[in-house]
Amino acid sequence: MNTVVKIENLVKRYKELVAVDHMNLAIEQGEIFGLLGPNGSGKSTIINCLLSLTSYDKGEITVFGEKMRADNYSVKGRIGVVLQNVAVFDELTVYENIDYFCSLYIKDKAKRKELVKEAIAFVGLEDFVKFYPKKLSGGLLRRLNIACGIAHKPELIIFDEPTVAVDPQSRNKILEGIQELNRQGATVIYTSHYMEEVEQICSRIAIIDKGQLVATGTKEELKSMIQTGETIRVEVPEMTDEVLFGLEKLSHVLSVEYNEGLATIKCSGGRHNVLHVLEYLNNTETSFGRVFAEQPTLNDVFLEITGKELRDEVQ
Amino acid sequence: MVYYLYRVKRLFRNKILFFWSIIFPLVLATFFKLAFSAITEKDWGFDTIAVAVTTEEGSTPDEMLISFLEEMKNEDQAFFEVTETDPETADRMLSEKEVTAVIVVGEETVIKLRENGLDSTVVKTVIDGYLQSKDIFMEAAVTGKLAQVTEAFSDEMETLAVREFKGASKDPLIQYFQALIAMASLYGAMYGLMNSNELNTKANTADVAARRLASPMKKIPTVLADVAAAFTIQYVQFLIIIAYYLLVLKVDFGTINGWLFLGGAAYSLFGVLIGYCIGSVVRQKENIQNALMMGTVMFSSFLAGLMVGGLRITIELSAPIVNRINPATLIADSMQALCIMRDMDRFATCMIGILIWCVALIVVSVLAMGFRQMAEGRRVKNV
């Protein structure tokens, strides 16, 4: 596999704040690489450094084997960018916006026309080509934003939180579109603070917190890094301390929490954890209601490594 | 080219910019015309201008000046009715509006004007011309070229006299309209500022700027295309405004020739570059930039006489350097020189002033952008 992006020892400071702290990443060709972290963790700063939109204090960034600089136009021509905020011109129609941004990369008029047509079809804006952005709904605007970033068929596409403030239906379309682009051969860097999205589409994930790389790997690799293998939630109307201590002593049980009639039992990766827990409750004549068993999520990974919830940070 | 065409399209379709740079000047001009049309029709007419000449105590009367003023004629009608009198009487005549101006001959010849207006402009221009030539005349006496210079002197004075009125506008409101065109031209700064900010990743348009800067488009051609597009729009608007004044409002602009259109190109570029410079130097929030830009344009236009007619003359008499450097005055003065006075020297002087401004604005903008890039570049170290 070819390394498309290599970030070595990257440091970016904003006065006293270290936004990116000795970051090392390698993104391989054909991947959908997720940058997952709470707001303010440094994801967008990494992207800005990668695109040479901002300077950095230390480190080196290589893209397609070449050192990335603001004047490395040949490399820039192979990258597409879809930013968090919709970056289009209100004074141009849907078609004109896509054609304008495509013209920054493609000079040949006939080729550009073809590419713009394909991009419009890809995001499903055929019925809106003559519309001005202000006439489009939020979801359609997002699609236009994506079309402007991918019309020139880039080999590397960077999506910086493209689904923020998007309705679930449009979000799914966007995620499907990204996977389709990847199938067509594009390497994708996808930043988000929505762990479900990252888990859904990314082949490899880097978890970032406070500008530092917390962990990197496939979702399975990340989940295997933590002790929690399964989380069991049981509705228990009443639970004595004795039962609680007894649950904690069961093999594979890592921790037990009891709050407002819900027992949350974290277990290591052993088999039949649910069975053992329910057997114990039966034996102690503890009545219980519904039972839920979940595999660990990236939130569990984030929680166990950083000691805080990814979701909390999102709020 | 595609980039330029889209830029033109975008600027043209921007309703806010369109309003301020074209609709607003047209509405304001219409308002001026409607409000002052009665004055225009009633008050204009070439009359002999009454002036008093007095001599400071201890100084010798300037007989040459008196003869010169009395000799100036427009066909058979005298330009000036000259009254020689003592300083007190002269001041009384000025305050009682018996004369338009008092010329005080002394160690330094001083002009006291009753009020601003075309008559005052004429008196000041003629006396300035006379004093300039007088210096040469006196110098010639020292160098022994008196006869030669005397002949040239007579010709020059005659030319000056004719020039003052030949082709002159009969519309006393012309100064307002000139200041209005100056203001409209300087509103090109809005286009310049908008262009500049679209390459600024810290502005409100940061995402668009980021998308453009992430593309393989080189910065210099991008900036040049942006400037060219802004200039195109601004120049077209200049032409529309001129056409509206001449054809719809029937403003008598004086002599219209090709130089005005060349001048219009310079005014348009001047406005655009002011915006670029503000955008490049002041990397603050856009509302601060806009406030600074609008403040600059309006204050400059105020000094050029947009709100107070004849302020230009007052400034000319008290602080002429302000008129030499104020952007709106340079534009308005160049139009005055070209269309009203038909004074190509003065027109050229104004255009040189505008050119110097343009060069300075480009240099400052480039330096501001360059310094920022250098500062950014220095921070990228490979360790």
Its ipTM equals 0.78
Q: Which of B309, B289, B311, B271 is nearest to B181 (CA)?
A: B271
User: What Å distances lie between residue B340 and A5, B175, B344, CA to CA?
Assistant: 66, 10, 11
Q: How far does the CA of residue B196 sit from the closest CA of chain A (Å)?
A: 15
pLDDT in tens, A1-25: 688 999 999 999 888 888 899 999 9
pLDDT band for B163, please (50, 70, 90 cuts). Answer: very low
At A204, the pLDDT band (50, 70, 90 cuts) reads: very high
Cβ-defined contact of B379 to A55 (cutoff 8 Å): yes
Chain A from 66 to 125: CB within 8 A of any B CB: 70-71, 73-74, 76-77, 79, 81, 83-89, 91-92, 96, 99-101, 103-105, 109
Residues of A in contact with B3 (CB under 8 A): 100, 103-104
What is the pLDDT of chain B when averaged over all its residues?
Answer: 78
Q: How far apart, in whole angstroms, are the C-alpha atoms of residue A85 and residue A88?
A: 9
Q: What does the pLDDT read at residue A315?
A: 35
With the C-alpha atoms ordered B361, B363, B369, B371, is the resulting torsion angle positive or negative?
negative
Q: Under an 8 A CB cutoff, do A104 and B380 touch?
A: no
pLDDT at B167: 44
CA–CA dist B222, B203 (Å, integer): 18
Instruction: Indicate yes or no: CB of A87 within 8 angstroms of CB of B9.
Output: no
Asked whether the beta carbons of B64 and B157 are under 8 A apart, the reply is no
Range name among A72-76, B231-235, B341-345 with the lowest pLDDT average: B341-345
* Of residues B90 and B163, more confidently modeled: B90
Helices (H), chain B: 2-13, 15-18, 24-43, 63-71, 87-95, 118-143, 146-165, 174-186, 188-197, 206-213, 219-243, 258-281, 286-303, 311-318, 320-325, 327-335, 344-379
Q: Do A76 and B14 touch (CB under 8 A)?
A: no
Query: Taking 50 as the threshold, does the pLDDT of residue B217 lie above it?
Result: yes
User: Check: CATH 3.40.630.10 for A230-295?
Assistant: no
Confidence of residue B221 (pLDDT cuts 50, 70, 90): confident
Chain B contact residues (CB < 8 Å to A): 2-3, 6, 9-11, 13-14, 201, 207-208, 210-218, 376-377, 379-383
Q: Chain A residues with CB inside 8 Å of B220's CB? A: none
Closest Cα in chain A, distance from residue B225 (Å) = 13
Per the CB < 8 Å rule, is A104 touching B210?
no
Question: A101 and B215 in contact by Cβ < 8 A?
Answer: yes
Distance of alpha carbon B47 from alpha carbon B100, whole angstroms: 11
Task: Give CA–CA dist A114/A98, Å, rounded.
Answer: 12
* Statement: residue A268 has pLDDT above 50: yes
The number of C-beta contacts closer than 8 angstroms across A and B is 87
Q: Which two tokens stand for residue B331?
A: 């534009």
Cβ-based contacts of A96 with chain B (< 8 Å)? 6, 9
Residue A187, min C-alpha distance to chain B (Å): 17
Comparing CB atoms, the residue among A55, A71, A83 nearest residue B211 is A83
Nearest by CB to B10, which of A48, A91, A105? A91
Chain B neighbors of A76, CB-CB under 8 A: 214-216
Q: Which pLDDT band holds residue B379 (cuts at 50, 70, 90)? A: very low
By CB atoms closer than 10 A (0-12, 13-18, 19+), residue A83 is buried
| Closest chain A residue to B220, measured at CA | A71
Average pLDDT in the A287-299 region?
85
Contact residues on chain B for A97, CB-CB shorter than 8 A: none
Q: Does residue B73 register a pLDDT over 90? A: no
Task: Note the pLDDT tens digit of each residue in A61-109.
Answer: 999 999 998 888 999 999 999 988 888 998 899 999 999 999 999 989 9
Inter-chain contact A87–B208, Cβ cutoff 8 Å?
A: yes
Question: What residue ranges do the domains of chain A occupy?
Answer: 3-224, 230-295
Residue among B162, B159, B180 at smallest CA distance from B171: B180
With CB atoms and an 8 Å threshold, state whether A81 touches B210. yes
Question: Check: CATH 3.40.50.300 for A3-224?
Answer: yes
pLDDT of residue A151: 93
Query: What does the pLDDT average to over B27-53?
Result: 72
Closest Cβ–Cβ partner in B9, B211, B213 for A101: B211
Interface test with B, best of A52, A89, A152 (most B CBs within 10 A): A89
Distance of CA B165 to the CA centre of its chain: 20
Sort out which chain B residues have CB atoms less than 8 A from A88's CB and list them: 208
Contacts of B215 in chain A (CB under 8 A): 76-77, 101, 104-105
Alpha-carbon distance B2 to nearest alpha carbon in chain A (angstroms):
7
Contacts of B376 in chain A (CB under 8 A): 54-55
Question: Contacts by B291-297 with C-beta closer than 8 Å and gap 24+?
Answer: B293/B189, B293/B190, B293/B193, B296/B186, B296/B189, B297/B183, B297/B186, B297/B187, B297/B189, B297/B328
Q: What is the mean pLDDT of chain A?
A: 87
What pLDDT does A131 receive? Answer: 94
Using a CB-CB cut-off of 8 Å, the residues of chain A touching B9 are 91-92, 96
Of all residues in chain B, the one with the smallest CA distance to A108 is B2
State how far residue B45 is from chain A, nearest Cα, in angstroms: 49
Strands A262-267 and A253-259: antiparallel
Which residues on B lie below 8 Å from A60 (Cβ)?
A: 382
N- to C-terminal Cα separation, chain B: 42
Confidence tier at A155 by pLDDT (50, 70, 90) = very high
Q: Which residues of A are less than 8 Å from B382 in CB distance? A: 58-60
Q: What is the pLDDT of residue B137?
A: 62
B380 contacts on A by Cβ (under 8 Å): 55-57
Q: What is the pLDDT of residue B205?
A: 57
More confident position, B73 or A267: A267
Q: pLDDT per residue over B74-89, tens digit each?
A: 556 677 888 888 888 8
**What residues of chain A lie within 8 A of the CB of B11, using their CB?**
91
pLDDT tens readout for residues A235-255? 998 888 888 888 888 888 888
Which helix (DSSP H) or strand (DSSP E) does residue B51 occupy? strand B49-55
**Shortest Cα distance from A146 to chain B (angstroms)?**
12
The mean-pLDDT minimum among A28-32, B123-127, B164-168 falls in B164-168
CA nearest to B377 within chain A:
A55
Mark yes or no for CB contact B207/A79 under 8 Å: no
pTM metric for this prediction: 0.71
B215·A48 Cβ contact <8 A: no
Mean pLDDT across B334-363: 88
Contacts of B377 in chain A (CB under 8 A): 55
Instruction: Name the more confident of B100 and B202.
Output: B100
For position B166, what pLDDT does the model report? 43
CA distance A5 to A26: 6
Looking only at Cα atoms, what is the longest distance across chain B? 88
What average pLDDT does range B36-44 have in this prediction?
56
Closest residue in B to A97 (Cα–Cα) = B6
| Number of neighbouring beta carbons within 10 Å of residue B23 | 12
- The residue among B346 and B148 whose pLDDT is bigger is B346
Task: Nearest chain A residue to B12 by CA: give it.
Answer: A91
Q: Which residue has the higher pLDDT, B163 or B366?
A: B366
DSSP 8-state symbol, B106: S
**Which of B10, B377, B381 lies nearest to residue A58, judging by beta carbons?**
B381
Distance from CA of B10 to the nearest CA of A (A): 5
Please give the pLDDT value at position B383: 31
